[in-house]
Amino acid sequence: MDIAQLQAYGYFALTVFLVIGLYGYIYHLYSKRKNSDGVDYEEYSNMALHDDIDDTPVASISDDKKK
């Protein structure tokens, strides 16, 4: 196999990989409504909206340590 052929196969494989990666990520975002803490991605907006120092965190680090 000459170099041009190798490049062509490499190019094709990379393209397939990227397409799968992209759609896989979109699928992940939409199917997995909740992460392991039971938080919906959309709730993360509250990190900015409720950001006073005594507001309750969306998902707290200390909850994690308690487990």
Q: Which residues bind other proteins (CB under 8 A)?
A: 25-26, 29-30, 37, 39, 41-42, 44-49, 51, 53-55, 57-64
Kindly tell me which of 16 and 47 has the beta carbon lying closer to other proteins: 47
Residues 35/41, Cβ–Cβ less than 8 Å? yes
Closer to other proteins by CB, 1 or 61: give it: 61
Closest CB 2 distance from other proteins, rounded Å = 17
C-alpha distances in Å from residue 65, one per residue of 30, 40, 44, 59: 28, 21, 20, 12
